[in-house]
Homo-oligomer: A and B are copies of this chain.
Amino acid sequence: MVTIALDAMGGDRGVETAVRAAASVSLQKNGPAVLLVGDRARIEAVLQRSRYDAAQLSIHHAPQVIGMDESPREAIEGKPEASLLVGARLVAEGAADALVSAGNTGAAVLACARHFRKLPGVPRTALAAVFPTEQRRGEKDDPFSLVLDVGATQHTDADALVGFAHMGAAYAARISKNPKPRVALLSNGAEPYKGPAEVVEAHRRLQADPCLHFVGNVEGVDLPKGVADVIVTEGYTGNVLLKTLEGISETALNVARYAYRSRLAWRIGLWMMRGGVMQLKQLTDWRQYGGAPILGFDHLFIKAHGRSNERAIANAIKVAAKAAGSGLCREIEAQLAGKTEAA
């Protein structure tokens, strides 16, 4: 059986939400076991008020907590017994198969780098994110694409971009049950010669790669249309992109609130459209889709959004169990063996 370590202290909503998510997963048939890592007394206090299957839950005490706004580097150095670091250590030691946290993203990337081993053939590890689109994809009809990297790197070289393509494709194949995911490079034009030198070089190599279904360059304008299942980019641009989408969602909500307050006709109009608004919300609320994997290490980490509610964390645990159970890391290693070219 698969066991998932959960950082019980991470996330904006704190220990209550994390422990309740684990409790709900414990009651599901064929779900993974969950190892709760954090302050034992506080975890037990929440469990006392919850329904759960004790056979599926265990606790590992960790006395320190890394806050959401702490400097990742200082936190990792100064708090060796933080739940996030202890969780990563437990996974590395084999006590669990993968780690889930809704905590500090930068600290999560560093915790993996400290306790996990980068897979042979992986030029750079990546933080991936799911991204809402109009089209649905794979056997599971998932309404999102995967974008990577969105935060483990800044600028990268062609080697790293090719590695991201393979890791993203392996993940999409397993999680969305999409046997031949379409992979695209983010650039500022569809033509192969568009973009910075490393993007042009990665295009050439991906085009010639028989193991990938490479569909070429995509532009920002194509992303919400769902023209590809995996979008490859450097971390700086990927992160800016992801946070822009978050900003757009917030702006749309502000405009809707303004419309609701301003005129009775608009209020009635919004009410009549509530089904459509909910569909739109679902399309843009990618937080529910189970979190962002850190790929390229010998163990999997799933970073749930800081604002995750109970359902989102439970989804992240299930996604982690699925990926770990399907041998994702071994598959990435196999795909990348011998891929790296000398610069």
Chain A interfacial positions (CB closer than 8 Å to B) = 71, 134, 151, 154-155, 186-188, 191, 195-197, 219-225, 233, 235-237, 239-248, 250-252, 254-255, 259, 262-263, 265-266, 268-273, 275-276, 279-280, 283
Give 5 A-B contacts (CB < 8 Å), ordered by A residue.
Answer: A154-B196, A220-B239, A220-B243, A220-B244, A225-B247
Contact B269 A276 (CB under 8 A): yes
Contact A280 B266 (CB under 8 A): no
Smallest Cβ distance from A149 to chain B, in angstroms?
11
The 7 A-B residue pairs whose C-beta atoms are closest, nearest first, are: A220-B244, A269-B272, A220-B243, A269-B273, A188-B239, A221-B247, A224-B251
Partner of A273 from B154, B195, B270, B279 at Cβ < 8 Å:
B270
Which B residues lie within 8 Å of A197 (CB)? 154
Contact A224 B250 (CB under 8 A): yes
Partner of A268 from B222, B239, B272, B283 at Cβ < 8 Å:
B272
Partner of A220 from B154, B240, B252, B276 at Cβ < 8 Å:
B240
**Chain multiplicity (copies):** 2
Contact B259 A247 (CB under 8 A): no
Smallest Cβ distance from A259 to chain B, in angstroms?
4
Contact B263 A275 (CB under 8 A): yes
Smallest Cβ distance from A156 to chain B, in angstroms?
10
Contacts beyond the supplied A220-B241, A224-B251: 14 A-B pairs with Cβ under 8 Å: A71-B191, A134-B254, A155-B155, A188-B236, A188-B243, A196-B236, A225-B251, A241-B244, A255-B283, A263-B275, A265-B272, A268-B272, A269-B270, A272-B272
Contact A265 B273 (CB under 8 A): yes
Contact B223 A247 (CB under 8 A): yes
Main SS class of interface, A: helix
Smallest Cβ distance from A134 to chain B, in angstroms?
6
Contact A244 B247 (CB under 8 A): no
Smallest Cβ distance from A96 to chain B, in angstroms?
30
- A222–B250 alpha-carbon span in the complex (Å): 10
Which B residues lie within 8 Å of A252 (CB)? 252
Smallest Cβ distance from A160 to chain B, in angstroms?
14
- A195–B222 alpha-carbon span in the complex (Å): 25
- A259–B87 alpha-carbon span in the complex (Å): 45
- A222–B240 alpha-carbon span in the complex (Å): 10
Which B residues lie within 8 Å of A273 (CB)? 259, 265-266, 269-270, 273
Smallest Cβ distance from A116 to chain B, in angstroms?
22
- A274–B265 alpha-carbon span in the complex (Å): 10
Partner of A241 from B134, B240, B262 at Cβ < 8 Å:
B240
Contact A246 B221 (CB under 8 A): yes
Given A196-B154, A240-B237, A269-B272, A248:B247 Cβ within 8 A: no
- A134–B151 alpha-carbon span in the complex (Å): 27
- A236–B262 alpha-carbon span in the complex (Å): 40
CB-based nearest B residue for A271: B269
